[in-house]
Every structure is written in C-alpha cells, then in structure tokens.
Amino acid sequence: MATPHISANKGDFAKTVLMPGDPLRSEFIAKTYLENAVLVNDVRGVHGYTGTYKGKRVSVMASGMGQPSIGIYSYELYHFYDVENIIRVGSCGSFSPDLHARDIVIAMGACTNGNYASQYKLPGTFCPIADFGLVKRAVELCDAAGVNYRVGNILSSDMFYDDANSGMEWAKMGVLGVEMESAALYCNAARAGKKALCICTVSDSFVYPEENTTAEERQTSFTQMMEIALQLA
C-alpha cells in the first residue's frame, strides 16, 4: 500500500522506526547496525530500511529537514503502516554550557516558533512532549553507557538562518538547544495515540563554536546516539 511519499507495502516497516533527518545517516545506520537490511522505500531519495538488531525487527527511514517534512513521513508511518514508535535520531545546536559536541540531548519537550499545531484548532497552546516510557529508558541507557547527556526542552525552529538571532532568548527559559523537527513529530504522535522520542547529538554549540562538527561527522560519527536508539526499539 503505497502513499504519496512512501512506496513500501503494509508490513514492510517494523513497529519501531528510527528517523534521522539525513538519508545518508539512515543508510549508515542500516548498513552498520542492521542484519539483513532491506530497502523498503526510496521515493525522492528518502531511504527507508528494515532489518533486525540483536534479533529484534527495526526500521530506519529519513525524515528530511523541517517540521513539514517529518510531519508528512511520521503521519504516514503512524496512520498507514501501523508504526507504534518513532525515535528521531538527529543533531542539534546547543545553547547550554553543560553540553559539548557529541553530547546527547533527550528532548522531553519541544518548543517551537512554528505553527504546526494550529491544524488541531485547540482553544489554547499545545505542549508537544515525548513519551515518558521512552524518555525513562533512554536515560537508563545513557547512564549505563556513561555518556554525557541532558534531559529537557528543545526548540524546533522553522528557521535555520534566523535574522533576529533569537536562539539565546529561548536559552533564558532553560531550552537546551535547537533543531527543526521534534515538535511536529510529537504532535503527530499525540494525535495518533502513538509514541515518539527525539534523541539529538550536539553537532554545533552557541557556547563553544570551536567544537562544531562537519557534515561528514554528522552522518557517521554520532554512534552513541544511534546505539541508544536501537536499544530502545
């Protein structure tokens, strides 16, 4: 059963899908960690694979950049492919002096300057949050692995080039960092009655810019985050 954006048949995806933004990161995860990985989607070059990790069936598919893009793919996975859990494995820019390059952010909540939730016609402001069970398990896995991490709010921005340079205004409210997708993912999960979590590796820092990573490093070196997400599946 193909959708406008996914060519897979029903049943091709596992109940848990890891969702990086970058199709090359999706390919890297599949080829590095999954056994018997099969390409189940390649519409618009958005690679989706299903295989097994330590005997458990897992899928990984890219989301593209921004809330509209992950909004489309996560909606179709939840509603048309019976996916139960989507774990975003992305990168973020850090606002926090407690976070350095390659540290991990577990996004308990996702603030946004976007308007994605307006479609629900709610009589107030919706707070997009992760599934607590996934957050709790991710914390346990990070503790066991001995990685540096923080749990808290992240900003899902609709702008990469922000003319007002407003990022540090969010930092005043304790927001840990910025990415571009999680709020829409959390909204879709809430509306579908499904589960979602965003785990991000710090790729850039507003505090320590000398630590900023390259595009190639973002594709292939954020392995602690990938391994934690795979164990959540």
Q: What is the pLDDT of residue 186?
A: 98
CATH code for the domain in which residue 124 is found: 3.40.50.1580
Token pair of 67, please? 């809330």
Number of structural domains (the chain) is 1
Residue 5 lies in a domain: no
Q: What is the pLDDT of residue 221?
A: 62
Which burial class, exposed, middle or buried, applies to 104 when counting CB atoms under 10 A from its CB (0-12, 13-18, 19+)? buried
Residue 109 lies in a domain: yes
* CB of 102 closer than 8 Å to CB of 202: yes
Q: Per the residue annotation, which of 42, 82, 162, 204 is the catalytic one? A: 204
Q: What is the pLDDT of residue 213?
A: 79
Residue 182 lies in a domain: yes
The model's pLDDT over 144-170, given as tens digits with 9 standing for 90+, comes to 999 999 999 999 999 888 887 777 899
Distances in Å between the Cα of 86 and the Cα atoms of 47, 80, 174, 211 are 15, 14, 25, 29
Q: What is the pLDDT of residue 220?
A: 61
Residues of the chain falling short of pLDDT 50: none
Residue 8 lies in a domain: no
Q: What is the pLDDT of residue 43?
A: 80
Residue 3 lies in a domain: no
Q: How far apart are CA 76 and CA 2, in angstroms?
A: 10
3-state secondary structure (DSSP) of residue 76:
helix
> Which domain range does residue 203 map to?
16-232
Q: How far apart are CA 162 and CA 33, in angstroms?
A: 36
Q: What is the pLDDT of residue 152?
A: 98
Residue 2 lies in a domain: no
Q: Active-site residue 12, yes or no?
A: no
Residue 228 lies in a domain: yes
Nearest to 40 by CA among 10, 76, 75: 10
Token pair of 49, please? 């694979």
Q: What is the pLDDT of residue 1?
A: 64
First to last CA, the chain: 24
Q: What is the pLDDT of residue 219?
A: 60
